[in-house]
Chain A
Amino acid sequence: MSTATSPNGTQQKPSFTTAASVYVNERTSVAGFVKELGRKAFPDHWSFLLGEVALFAFVVVLITGTFLTFFFQASMAEVHYDGSYVPLKGVEMSVAMASTLDISFDVRGGLFVRQMHHWAALLFIAGIGLHMLRVFFTGAFRKPRELNWVIGFVMFILAMGEGFTGYSLPDDLLSGNGLRIIDGMIKGMPLIGTWTSFLLFGGEFPGTAIVGRLYTLHILLLPALLVALVALHLVFVVVHKHTQYAAPGKTQLNAVGPPILPTYAAKAGGFFFIVFGVLALIASLFTVNPIWNYGPYDPSPVSAGTQPDWYIGFADGALRLIPPGWEFVWLDRTWSFNILVPLIALGGFIVAAMLYPFIEAWVTGDKREHHIADRPRNNPTRTAIGAAGVTFYAGLWAAASSDILATHFSLTMEGVIHALQATVVIGPFIAYFIAKRVCIALQKKDREIVLHGYESGRIVKLPGGEFIEVHQPLDEYDRWKLVSYESYQPLMLRPNARGKITVGQRVRAAVSRWFFEDRIAPVTKRELEAAHSSHHDAAELEAAPSSQH
């Protein structure tokens, strides 16, 4: 604000902040960044907060996790527990388990931080998942953001890895069984399985190395990758500028919203504290992962109703849904399709979702940049594909609780499994169909509203005795939200320059037809005029006969 020399030349003592910012700037050239970024417009919408939830939960995970590293000891050396928790006194367990119990029972506030860490991790992955759904269903992955979608997807996988390595660290009974399952899955892989497991566990399962190794992954390798990718992800957000929803004044060529300084910074900064605070509230009131109830890992006991943290559920569920007998000995080797099929199905699902932006870009052939996020209904096929994917995931996820579903609702285990098998195989098709029809119906409703106005709730009696509801036309601002989208037409199969129709082109035309055969075009000006004039015509026609009588 104030400068050392004011315009009229009188000498003025600069304020401390001015002096400090001058000092910093002359050593960092930061003024350029502030000028460039400080007043950038940041589009605003509640759904844009989902990614922030993930980001802020991740920051909370980093903060709380750092605290925990000062107390946790990633060793599998056997000790006899001698802490405050009486029921486990004298029990033989690993140092990892004992130090986790100490964090929970002997460090004041330790349980609070530990629970906040776990809850924040759960929210982190949930936030990523919801953020990805938002990006998918609004088409915010289209050019130029395809690579950022892939980066986000890699982070999603890394986050699940962080989660799994994290909850395996306490070396308790539940997580030990989780590792046992991982060991069994790795062993079931052809060719490399046995040795991979042997190397991972540093010998036979469970060995004495795995907790230390997971710890290195959990606090060094995976966080370093995640932090780097988060930074890259955000750099891309700045480079691309955030998408925005169609609204009056918003175009492909602008980004509209409050400036980063001060409003957006205050909102986002405040939102960080809200996420942090909500996690603190949950951690102070709700127990998570009570390892003291499970006891130390032992390969022999297991509790009923054992299941992983929620985000691993889809993988565990996939294992449960395989029908009996999918394993063969062939060429003197064991082929465990009961392991391979879930691995391939999940891998295929993840890769397909990761590559979806490129697939859609190939189908549409659209090479333009897209900065206006779609309303999900305006791309029915994409929305339906998303619904099918969600259904597939949800079926697998529910299967991870098949035993709890069965006991809770007094169903047979077999019945639950068979129902979920059907959900996973047939459910996506049903979801696809329903979602697509719903989208098209909603688009039709939008057209109706644009052409004939919305129902005002006012009933009028005409001179002829007829009752009609008065339809209120939209103003141009409301109308814009309903008409400002594009539709695509199916690709026409045409010979290329050499007069040939290639197989690739045939496939592309078929996929394009599948995508865009059913579509509702946005209302055009001419259609609106036609609708209005036909209203008048109808009114005149009705008026004429009645006057003759």
Chain B
Amino acid sequence: MAQDDHSGAELAAADSSHAAHESVASPGTALVATDTFENPGFPPHRPRVTDEDPKRERRAQRTVYTLFYLSIVGSVWAIAAYMLIPIESNDVDAVRLNNMFIGLGATLALLGIGFGAVHWAKAVMVDVELADERHPVGGSRETQAAAAQVFADADRESGFSRRSVIRNSLIGALIAFPLPAIVLFRGFAPQDQDPVALLNHTMWKQGTRLALDPSGAPIKASDVTIGSAFHVIPEGLSDLEHGKLEEKAKAAVLLMRLEPSELNELPERASWSYDGIVAYSKICTHVGCPVALYEQHTHHLLCPCHQSQFDVANHCEVIFGPAKRPLPQLPIAVDDEGYLVAQSDFTEPVGPSFWERH
């Protein structure tokens, strides 16, 4: 494919023709044949219709000022819309109309100026093109030398290079002085808490009743029909004074009842379910979204954020998607009054993986 049919003789060390000041800079591997075409220079100026036809020019002028007047109309319109279309309480339509009419007025005000100015520039203003000379960005040799001299003088007068002890001690001090500021960042989170300990526990403990999210009503085992799924929080969560969302972000649970025959339980977890009712953490083990979509006939749970899928029938193992670990299971039982209760907290941290998790 290479079309390099030039002989070496035709290759010049680039570009002296149109970049005299750059001839000192290396062209690298750029090739310029010696018999390139010359830049033909600017083509003849082509007048616009508004330059040649006074009628068209007058029309363009009319268009420009009409657009500017329209802009004024738009501004007035927007102000009028603000006053004439109040937002009545409880009326979403009023909000929509208010938004639209203020907006359309503002649009007209802005576009009138915009199109007017551009049309003025393109059709009415004198059509000139200028050519500025470019100079090397680095400036002239003299300027560069003068700048170097400034630094040399400054170095000599301060002794920055010569007095190395002073210089190095300053560098050390400059490195050290921001360190206290970094330490201050510890104050971003409560001093007396350890995130790892917090991540290892949730609000669930032995005997905590499973309650409906968001009402907080406890759930009777008899109310859980086969095939149903409940969004569950620990009883008492709604009454918390502080940390309600933090606790919920760890303690949210999905409760499902399957045919016991369809449930393939791990032997060590045989006692964690009750009559086909199983409870799993709702917090995805990938990055923590709620795994809220339950497909009843396949017993699959789907996380809507990144599409990890968990098989409830098989202890919520991952069957697709980026998550690695199964959803943690909450051991449940039934209390004397027939309500579902937790046997204990989760036996592993819930939610996304973290470094100290093992």
Report which A residues bind B (CB closer than 8 A).
39-41, 84-86, 104-106, 108-109, 111-112, 115-116, 144, 177, 180-181, 183-185, 187-195, 197-207, 209, 239-241, 248-259, 262-264, 266-267, 269-278, 280-281, 283-285, 297-306, 316, 319-327, 329, 332-334, 336, 338-339, 364-369, 371, 402-403, 413-414, 417, 440, 476-477, 479-480, 483-484, 486-491, 512, 516-526
Contact indicator A490/B29 (Cβ below 8 Å): yes
Bound Cα distance A190, B357 (Å): 11
Contact indicator A366/B352 (Cβ below 8 Å): no
Min CB–CB distance B253 → chain A (angstroms) = 9
Contact indicator A194/B87 (Cβ below 8 Å): no
Residues of B within 8 A of A364 (CB): 28-30
B318 at the interface (CB under 8 A from A): yes
In the complex, besides A200-B188, A284-B106, 5 extra interface pairs with C-beta distance below 8 angstroms are A105-B92, A274-B114, A277-B110, A302-B289, A521-B5
Contact indicator B1/A517 (Cβ below 8 Å): yes
Give the contacting residue for A248; candidates B39, B86, B106, B246; CB below 8 A.
B39
Residues of A within 8 A of B4 (CB): 489, 519, 521
Min CB–CB distance A41 → chain B (angstroms) = 4
Report which B residues bind A (CB closer than 8 A).
1-6, 10, 14-15, 18-22, 25-33, 35-37, 39-43, 82, 85-87, 89-92, 95, 98-104, 106-111, 113-122, 125-126, 128-134, 136-138, 185-186, 188-190, 193, 195-196, 198-199, 213-214, 231, 233, 243, 245-246, 248-250, 252, 282-284, 286-290, 292-293, 302, 304-309, 318-325, 351-358
Bound Cα distance A316, B116 (Å): 42
Contact indicator B323/A338 (Cβ below 8 Å): yes
Residues of B within 8 A of A269 (CB): 117
23 contacts between A and B (CB under 8 A): A41-B132, A84-B87, A84-B95, A111-B99, A177-B290, A187-B354, A206-B246, A249-B131, A252-B19, A254-B131, A255-B132, A272-B114, A298-B245, A300-B214, A300-B231, A324-B324, A334-B357, A364-B28, A366-B29, A417-B320, A484-B36, A486-B30, A486-B32
Contact indicator B288/A183 (Cβ below 8 Å): yes
Bound Cα distance A205, B30 (Å): 57
On whether A206 and B249 interact (CB within 8 A), knowing A256-B130, A271-B114, A333-B358, the answer reads yes
Q: Which residue of A lies closest to B249 (CB)?
A: A299
Contact indicator A417/B307 (Cβ below 8 Å): yes
Q: Which residue of B lies closest to A440 (CB)?
A: B1
Contact indicator A84/B246 (Cβ below 8 Å): no
On whether A280 and B27 interact (CB within 8 A), knowing A181-B289, A339-B287, the answer reads no
Contact indicator B29/A484 (Cβ below 8 Å): no
Q: Which residue of B lies closest to A400 (CB)?
A: B306
Residues of B within 8 A of A105 (CB): 87, 92, 95
Q: Which residue of A lies closest to B100 (CB)?
A: A284
Give the contacting residue for B287; candidates A319, A368, A486; CB below 8 A.
A319
Residues of A within 8 A of B33 (CB): 521-522, 524
On whether A104 and B102 interact (CB within 8 A), knowing A324-B318, A518-B1, the answer reads no
Give the contacting residue for B129; candidates A111, A193, A258, A366; CB below 8 A.
A258
Bound Cα distance A365, B10 (Å): 20
Give the contacting residue for B248; candidates A192, A252, A259, A300; CB below 8 A.
A300
Q: Which residue of A lies closest to B248 (CB)?
A: A299
On whether A325 and B318 interact (CB within 8 A), knowing A270-B116, A319-B287, the answer reads yes
Residues of A within 8 A of B118 (CB): 266-267, 270-271, 274
Bound Cα distance A270, B199 (Å): 56
Min CB–CB distance B202 → chain A (angstroms) = 11
Bound Cα distance A484, B37 (Å): 8
Contact indicator A524/B132 (Cβ below 8 Å): no
Residues of B within 8 A of A193 (CB): 354-355
On whether A299 and B31 interact (CB within 8 A), knowing A249-B39, A249-B41, A258-B129, the answer reads no
On whether A109 and B26 interact (CB within 8 A), knowing A248-B43, A257-B129, A301-B290, the answer reads no
Contact indicator B246/A207 (Cβ below 8 Å): yes
On whether A194 and B114 interact (CB within 8 A), knowing A104-B95, A180-B288, the answer reads no
Bound Cα distance A198, B43 (Å): 66
Min CB–CB distance A531 → chain B (angstroms) = 13
On whether A203 and B121 interact (CB within 8 A), knowing A109-B82, A280-B107, A283-B103, the answer reads no
Bound Cα distance A465, B43 (Å): 40
Give the contacting residue for A281; candidates B95, B107, B134, B318; CB below 8 A.
B107
Contact indicator B132/A305 (Cβ below 8 Å): no
Contact indicator B355/A183 (Cβ below 8 Å): no
Bound Cα distance A85, B86 (Å): 15
Q: Which 7 A-B pairs have the closest CB atoms?
A: A284-B103, A184-B287, A365-B28, A270-B117, A273-B114, A277-B110, A249-B42
Give the contacting residue for B137; candidates A144, A263, A277, A477; CB below 8 A.
A144
Contact indicator A41/B322 (Cβ below 8 Å): no
Residues of A within 8 A of B29 (CB): 364-366, 488-491, 512, 516
Contact indicator A263/B43 (Cβ below 8 Å): no
Name, among A39, A334, A413, the residue most crowded by chain B CB atoms within 10 Å (CB to CB): A334
Contact indicator B324/A267 (Cβ below 8 Å): no
Contact indicator B129/A41 (Cβ below 8 Å): yes
On whether A368 and B252 interact (CB within 8 A), knowing A319-B322, A520-B3, the answer reads no
Min CB–CB distance A88 → chain B (angstroms) = 12
Contact indicator A334/B358 (Cβ below 8 Å): yes
Bound Cα distance A207, B242 (Å): 10
Contact indicator A284/B102 (Cβ below 8 Å): yes
Q: Which residue of B lies closest to A204 (CB)?
A: B246
On whether A199 and B289 interact (CB within 8 A), knowing A255-B134, A479-B37, the answer reads no
On whether A276 and B287 interact (CB within 8 A), knowing A112-B99, A207-B246, A298-B245, the answer reads no
Residues of B within 8 A of A483 (CB): 36-37
Bound Cα distance A209, B304 (Å): 26
Give the contacting residue for A252; candidates B5, B18, B193, B243; CB below 8 A.
B18
Give the contacting residue for B283; candidates A106, A299, A371; CB below 8 A.
A299
Name, among A106, A299, A365, the residue most crowded by chain B CB atoms within 10 Å (CB to CB): A299
Contact indicator A480/B113 (Cβ below 8 Å): no
Residues of B within 8 A of A477 (CB): 40, 43
Min CB–CB distance B215 → chain A (angstroms) = 13
On whether A304 and B125 interact (CB within 8 A), knowing A85-B92, A338-B324, the answer reads no
Q: Which residue of B lies closest to A486 (CB)?
A: B30
Contact indicator A108/B131 (Cβ below 8 Å): no
Residues of B within 8 A of A201 (CB): 189
Bound Cα distance A306, B125 (Å): 51
Min CB–CB distance B320 → chain A (angstroms) = 6
Min CB–CB distance A337 → chain B (angstroms) = 9
Bound Cα distance A29, B228 (Å): 79
Min CB–CB distance B229 → chain A (angstroms) = 13
Q: Which residue of B lies closest to A106 (CB)?
A: B87
Bound Cα distance A239, B320 (Å): 54
Contact indicator B288/A270 (Cβ below 8 Å): no
Bound Cα distance A190, B118 (Å): 55
Min CB–CB distance A46 → chain B (angstroms) = 13
Contact indicator A519/B2 (Cβ below 8 Å): yes
Bound Cα distance A20, B131 (Å): 31
